[in-house]
């Protein structure tokens, strides 16, 4: 959530941010009004309670008519205090509810617009000319089936659309990617962590996934648990309600987890293969830093993502995501998009977001410095979303005979394999 002092001192900044996101600008004014009622009702409650305490001290010493008047006044005050308390609680609840609906403040350098209004920050790698090589590239599903690596037909029988079995070298490729990503992360000083896949509502709400993103989340109503769509959620909540000493920062983690997404609203999109699925494995980076270090940390996470994609020898570009395409928690977000030859376009493989103090305020994660506490900043960055990475690897490294070259950096994690060969029919 945003800092209420920012709301009071610079509401125009919040209005501009909401406008840039394409979200309700009136929410800012509603929250301002609710905050004023919350503060005024709190002040009235405190004044009435102070008078009530004062009377409580006078009554035992009073006599006769004076005592009768004081007792009568005490009775009136008791009712007034109850009413003020109820008004205060109502105003607090209303302000709190509105505050949870307000998205993070957009960074001033973020391009304004919708999904297609991003700006390209940089481009890396060479796009192969398959025509010059003398063959037409196959898509990842055709390659994966020939390799005995991907089985969507049996998965559809068992689980439905947007599921897959990774078999044979497909399973080995997933494990290799996870191990290689974790090896890079630990070499960079991140602490590896296998995280829970089920979380309580506070963790999901605290990271901002029960607002605009709620339709994409699986909820187990009977137990009131949520299946995570990213280990960002349990990683952000790892220090829930804690105060971290400043000299321990930054804290950096690499979460390994299954991820579950309903993919609501994606009907008809990427229905072939494993690019957009309901379940996948991911290695996610997460940082807790002092707020003044957040922008530098965003660049650091992005650099690690670029290192990873470069090691996999994938052509990719980095985009600065437009304001209307940001998640509620993100102030700024960079996506790394890999080139997919059979689609003739770049597609998102990783992303990294600066959530400033937004999540930490919700989750009550604070830092202590010079005897004072304040919220930390949180940042997240995908290192490897496995299924999408497999898509990009198969398509970009395929050979004319249907085999797939293994990037050199991945070979030690695949038992030294240099090429993945098609299996006999």
Q: Where are the domains of the chain?
A: 4-101, 119-420
Helix, strand or coil, per DSSP, at residue 295: helix
pLDDT in tens, 197-238: 999 999 999 998 887 667 889 999 999 999 999 999 999 999
Tell me what percent of the residues of the chain surpass a pLDDT of 70: 93
Catalytic residue of the set 88, 252, 261, 362: 261
Residue 230 in contact with residue 251, Cβ under 8 Å? no
Is residue 272 part of the annotated active site? The answer reads no
In a 3-state reduction of DSSP, which class is residue 380?
strand
pLDDT at 331: 97
Question: What average pLDDT does this structure show over 152-173?
Answer: 95
Catalytic residue among 252, 276, 300, 362: 276
Q: Residue 17: pLDDT above 90?
A: yes
Long-range CB contacts (within 8 A, 24+) of 5-9:
6/105, 7/31, 7/32, 7/35, 8/32, 8/35
Report whether pLDDT(93) > 80: yes
Kindly report the average pLDDT of the chain as a whole number: 91
- Catalytic site residue 15? no
From residue 111, alpha-carbon distances to 117, 165, 318, 323 in Å are 7, 39, 14, 6
Domain 4-101 shares a fold with domain 119-420: no
% of the chain exceeding 90 in pLDDT: 76
* C-alpha distances in Å from residue 73, one per residue of 56, 63, 80, 88: 11, 15, 10, 22
If we measure between CA atoms, which residue out of 284, 398, 283 comes closest to residue 340? 398
Model's pTM, two decimal places? 0.90
348 is catalytic: yes
Catalytic residue among 94, 293, 348, 369: 348
User: What mean pLDDT do residues 62-66 have?
Assistant: 66
- The pLDDT assigned to 323 comes to 97
- Distance from C-alpha of 336 to C-alpha of 306, rounded to nearest angstrom: 8
Residue 350 burial (CB count, 10 A): 29
- Higher pLDDT, residue 7 or 297: 297
pLDDT of residue 74: 64
CATH of domain 4-101: 1.10.287.40
pLDDT at 147: 97
Task: Name the catalytic one among 38, 361, 388, 417.
Answer: 388
Mean pLDDT of 73-93: 77
Q: Is 351 a catalytic residue?
A: yes
Confidence of residue 57 (pLDDT cuts 50, 70, 90): low
The span from the CA of 203 to the CA of 292, in Å, is 25
Topology at the third CATH level for domain 119-420? BirA Bifunctional Protein; domain 2 (3.30.930)
- pLDDT, residue 216, reads 85
Segment 396-414 mean pLDDT = 97
Q: Has 388 been annotated as catalytic?
A: yes
* Residue 163 DSSP label: -
């Amino acid at each position: 959530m945003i800092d209420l002092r920012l709301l009071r001192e610079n509401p125009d900044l919040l209005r501009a941010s909401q406008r840039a996101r394409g979200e309700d600008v009136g929410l800012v004014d509603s929250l301002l009004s609710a905050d004023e009622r919350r503060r005024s009702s709190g002040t009235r409650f405190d004044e009435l309670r102070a008078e009530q305490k004062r009377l409580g001290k006078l009554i035992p010493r009073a006599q006769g008519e004076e005592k009768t008047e004081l007792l009568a006044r005490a009775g009136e005050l008791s009712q007034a205090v109850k009413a003020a308390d109820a008004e205060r609680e109502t105003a607090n609840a209303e302000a709190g509810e509105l505050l949870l609906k307000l998205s993070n403040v957009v960074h001033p350098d973020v391009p304004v617009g919708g999904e297609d209004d991003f700006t390209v920050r940089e481009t890396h790698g060479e796009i192969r000319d398959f025509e010059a090589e003398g063959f037409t590239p196959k898509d990842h599903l055709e390659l994966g089936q020939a390799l005995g690596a991907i089985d969507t037909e049996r998965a559809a029988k068992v689980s439905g659309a947007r599921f897959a079995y990774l078999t044979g070298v497909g399973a080995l490729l997933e494990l290799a990617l996870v191990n290689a990503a974790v090896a890079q992360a630990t070499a960079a000083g991140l602490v590896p962590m296998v995280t829970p896949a089920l979380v309580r509502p506070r963790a999901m709400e605290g990271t901002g996934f029960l607002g605009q993103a709620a339709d994409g989340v699986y909820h187990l109503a009977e137990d009131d648990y949520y299946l995570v769509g990213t280990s960002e959620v349990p990683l952000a909540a790892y220090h829930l309600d804690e105060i971290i000493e400043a000299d321990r920062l930054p804290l950096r983690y690499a979460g390994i987890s299954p991820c579950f997404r309903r993919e609501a609203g994606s009907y008809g999109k990427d229905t072939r293969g494993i690019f957009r699925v309901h379940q996948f494995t991911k290695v996610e980076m997460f940082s807790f830093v002092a707020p003044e270090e957040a922008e530098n940390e965003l660049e650091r996470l992005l650099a690690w993502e670029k290192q990873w994609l470069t090691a996999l020898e994938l052509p990719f570009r980095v985009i600065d995501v437009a304001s209307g395409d940001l998640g509620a928690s993100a102030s700024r977000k960079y996506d790394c998009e890999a080139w997919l030859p059979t689609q003739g376009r770049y597609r998102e493989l990783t992303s990294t977001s600066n959530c400033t103090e937004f999540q930490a305020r919700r989750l009550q994660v604070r830092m202590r410095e010079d005897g004072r506490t304040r919220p930390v900043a949180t940042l997240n960055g995908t290192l490897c979303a496995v299924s999408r990475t497999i898509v990009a690897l198969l398509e970009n490294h395929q050979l004319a005979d249907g085999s797939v070259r293994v990037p050199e950096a991945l070979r030690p994690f695949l038992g030294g394999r240099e090429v993945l060969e098609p299996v006999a029919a």
